[in-house]
Amino acid sequence: MELRHLRYFRAVAEELHFGRAAERLHMAQPPLSQQIKQLEDELGVALLVRSTRRVELTAAGADYLERAIAILDSVDAAGRHAQQIAEGREGSLVIGCVGSATYSLLPELVRALRDELPAVDIGVRGEMSAPAQVAALRSGEIDLGLLRPPLAAPDLSYDTIRRDRLIVALPAGHALAGADAIDIGDLSGSDFIAHAGGGRTVMSGVLHSLCARANFVPRIRHEVEETSTLVTLVAAGLGVAVVPEPTSSLGIAGVAYRPLSTQPAHIDLAVARVRERRSPITEHALRILERIVAVARR
């Protein structure tokens, strides 16, 4: 027995007419009649009662039709499901993201993914440092990472998708809150709220590098993992912070943001993935991300 026998029988049973069933199947009537006879012989039961005027289902035929339809529909669904997965339209995708991009880029990206890939289960892990994302990419916990380069990981590939200006977050009552721009040297006597890492994470390294160029070591009062916590501590008056500009979209009251005039005054954002672990879903997501970034640039 082959699936074609079930398809032939279904057509005849639903049409109750060999001629119409043959037209529906785009085949001649005699071969169709032979195939149905072969099926009945193999089963050892009569599925149809034929006469010169009509075709009817036997009781066994009616039951067999119900089960044959379920089998054929299941096979068709399996085929559609496989095609969806092969095209990157079904499955799962987990995205890791650094803090500042969590609040600026990630919401729009997730909305676009849900609109264009409704059958894909989208997962998000926000507020992840670059080292944490590298580890998560390697372990398969995330499929794509939105992080800050440089990335010393030959097994990963990444593309820079935008450049964010560096700004200073200050308590609203700070003496420099009204300045047009701030040189990092002007903050040599300030307490700093810094991203955790002691210079080993990208943003922590940026802060230490900027201060070293101005010939001082930042007096770090608090190190925090989450950008939202960092800005909250600035609002509480516990220190100042150097952050990427998208951080200002958090909208936490009591914080003033001013441009940083010290070079380098920008930091890149990149999308990373495991070089040898590409999938149709990640490729589709990368195309959507590329489109979003292109629109934002324009």
Q: What is the rounded average pLDDT of the residues 260-278? A: 90
How many of the other CB atoms lie within 10 Å of CB of 118? 10
Report the CATH superfamily, name and number, of domain 164-266: Periplasmic binding protein-like II (3.40.190.10)
Of all residues in the chain, what percent carry a pLDDT higher than 90?
72
Domain ranges for the chain, please list them. Answer: 3-86, 91-161+268-297, 164-266
The reported pLDDT for the residue numbered 54 is 87
Dist CA 194 CA 222 (whole Å): 6
Task: For the domain made up of 3-86, give the CATH fold.
Answer: Arc Repressor Mutant, subunit A (1.10.10)
The reported pLDDT for the residue numbered 187 is 96
Contact present, 38 and 48 (Cβ < 8 Å): no
The reported pLDDT for the residue numbered 198 is 65
What are the residues facing 165 on neighbouring strands? 266
Q: Kindly tell me if the per-residue pLDDT of 129 is higher than 90.
A: no
What are the residues facing 273 on neighbouring strands? 157
With bands split at pLDDT 50, 70 and 90, how would you rate the model's confidence at 229?
very high
Q: Which two structure tokens, joined as six digits, stand for 9?
A: 């029988």
The reported pLDDT for the residue numbered 259 is 94
Q: What is the rounded average pLDDT of the residues 229-249? A: 95
Q: pLDDT, tens digit, for every residue of 176-220?
A: 999 999 999 999 999 999 988 765 678 888 999 999 999 999 999
Q: pLDDT, tens digit, for every residue of 80-104?
A: 877 877 766 678 999 999 988 888 8
Contact present, 76 and 105 (Cβ < 8 Å): no
Report the CATH superfamily, name and number, of domain 91-161+268-297: Periplasmic binding protein-like II (3.40.190.10)
User: Is there a common fold for 3-86 and 164-266?
Assistant: no
CA distances from 172 to 59, 148, 194, 245 (A): 83, 28, 18, 17
What are the residues facing 255 on neighbouring strands? 171
The reported pLDDT for the residue numbered 182 is 95
Place of tokens 């935008």: 162
DSSP string, 76-110: HHHHHHHHHHHTTSSEEEEEEE-HHHHHHTHHHHH
Dist CA 215 CA 225 (whole Å): 26
SS3 (DSSP) at 116 = helix
* Identity of residue 218: P
Name the residue among 178, 147, 189 with its Cα closest to residue 164. Answer: 147
Q: Kindly tell me if the per-residue pLDDT of 297 is higher than 90.
A: no
Q: Is the dihedral of CA 142, 145, 147, 152 positive or negative?
A: positive
Residues 6+ apart with CB under 8 A from 126: 96, 97, 99, 102, 106
The reported pLDDT for the residue numbered 69 is 94
Dist CA 293 CA 158 (whole Å): 15
